[in-house]
Amino acid sequence: MPSRIEQRERTRRDLVRVSRRLFADVGYADVGLAEIVRTAGVTKGALYHHFDGKEALFRAVLTEVQQEVAQRVAAAADAEDDPWEQFTAGCREFLAAGTAPDVQQIMLIDGPAVLGWTEWRAIDEAAAGRHLAEALAALVDRGLIPPQPVAPLTHLLSGAMNEVALWLARTSDPAAFPDAVAALTTVLTALRAPAPPR
């Protein structure tokens, strides 16, 4: 028989799982707490034991989605041996992850609207933003990107990629994703330091 701690953790996981599906399917604004607790098979009291309301529950869902995207980006980068290819593969994977309907709705559309830009950016920076900053710092250290402050470059690239991901979430053009990847590749290639003369 599961312990009380295990039961509480399972209830929390169920609430996040159910909420994620509902938020992804119809958007944050069209999901009520009554629907969440009914679908999860718990009481409102159980929900309020873990979360102080719908926004707090959404924050947990968004954090989970952001962490999953960051893991996908890291896995794509880790699959490459060359440092530059690791960087570009991770950036491409960020755009690819953003094409999933649940990621689009939760992370890109509802995230900034529900939590506000500042908090949404803080969650993003704690997940994918941290990996991007580390990758850029490593490339500068290796001389693959000319020496420069990493913080503004991280924010510049993160903002550009988030904006493209938002655009992808709102377009139905089948050429949009390949076009976005091509544009991203052009931007990233322009960052690279010229190869030293032989």
pLDDT in tens, 155-167: 999 989 989 998 9
In a domain, 57, yes or no: no
Question: Measuring CA to CA, how many Å separate 140 from each of 14, 83, 153?
Answer: 43, 11, 11
Q: What percent of the chain is predicted at pLDDT more than 90? A: 75
Question: Measuring CA to CA, how many Å separate 139 from each of 14, 109, 159, 186?
Answer: 41, 31, 19, 17
Same domain (yes/no): 84, 137: yes
Cα(30)–Cα(186) distance, integer angstroms: 39
In a domain, 56, yes or no: no
pLDDT of 1 higher than 90: no
Q: If you search the block for the tokens 């719908």, which residue do you land on?
A: 54
Q: Is the Cβ–Cβ distance between 36 and 44 less than 8 Å?
A: no
Same domain (yes/no): 80, 127: yes
Would you call 158 helix, strand, or coil by DSSP?
helix
Q: What is the pTM of this model?
A: 0.88
pLDDT of 2 higher than 90: no
When pLDDT is averaged across residues 127-135 and rounded to a whole number, the result is 86
Same domain (yes/no): 30, 99: no
Report pLDDT digits (tens) over 57-94: 999 999 999 999 989 999 999 999 999 999 999 999 99
Domain that holds residue 46: 1-51
Same domain (yes/no): 13, 93: no
Q: What pLDDT is attached to residue 25?
A: 96
